[in-house]
Every structure is written in C-alpha cells, then in structure tokens.
Homo-oligomer: A and B are copies of this chain.
Amino acid sequence: MIVKDKAISITEPVSGEGINKVKMAVLIGENEGAPNFYMRKFELEAGGHTPYHTHDWEHVVYILEGSGVLKGKDGGRRLEAGSAVLVAPNEEHQFRADDGTPLSFLCSIPKP
C-alpha cells in the first residue's frame, strides 16, 4: 500500500502549445507501480487552460476546487467542485478556469 500525503504531491508547471497557467502532479502513476491507470492532479490559475485537443484515450475527472468550463465541440459545460466528468476517447476538450478563480481537479487516464 502506498499513501502519499498532500504535502509531498507538489504540482509543477506544465508547458506546451495551448497550455496556460497549468500545474500538474502525478499522484499515482508509474513511480507508484499503478497497474492499469494513473491519477494526476491539475491546478489552473484564474484564466488558465489546458490545450483544446483530442486523443484516443479517455479522461475521468473530479473537480476538487473552484469552477470553470469544459469546452467541447458542442460548446461549454459548467464545472463546479464535486462535478464528475468523462471525456471519451477522441472527443475534443479543454478545461478552462474562466471564472476569475483557480480550478483544480483530478484527471485519471489509462496507463500509456
């Protein structure tokens, strides 16, 4: 069993095309020996966003704090603390902290 306290799960800045004011930490992943899927924590500063993109794996997400928008092909969906999200494989998506507040969430993916 592995227990990682909050204090040792420090998010680090993520850079790349279409990414703005995003930090991330892998909470349970390769280093922890996760067999099938990985859990990451994302923190977006107010005004931050992940890239608007698509890929052939899913996201399973839980909104921890703040609020924002999940942008997709058919518009935006509101996100509030406690919301659970499934982004299916190959769906266009972007997480946006558009409300003038930070947005933090867990995002799990299948093991690459």
**A binding-site residues for B, Cβ under 8 Å:** 1-6, 9, 27-28, 32-37, 39, 41, 58, 60, 62, 64, 70, 72, 77-89, 91, 93, 106, 108, 110
Q: Is the interface of A mostly helix, strand, loop or mixed?
A: strand
Q: For the complex formed by this chain, how many copies does it contain in all?
A: 2
Report whether B37 and A4 are in contact in the complex, using a CB–CB cutoff of 8 Å: no
Given A35-B89, A37-B110, A110-B37, answer yes or no on A78-B1 (Cβ-Cβ < 8 Å).
no
A82 — nearest CB in chain B belongs to which residue? B6
A3 to B5, CA, bound (A): 28
**From B34, B77, B78, B84, contact of A27 by CB (8 A):** B84
Evaluate contact between A28 and B86: CB separation under 8 angstroms.
yes
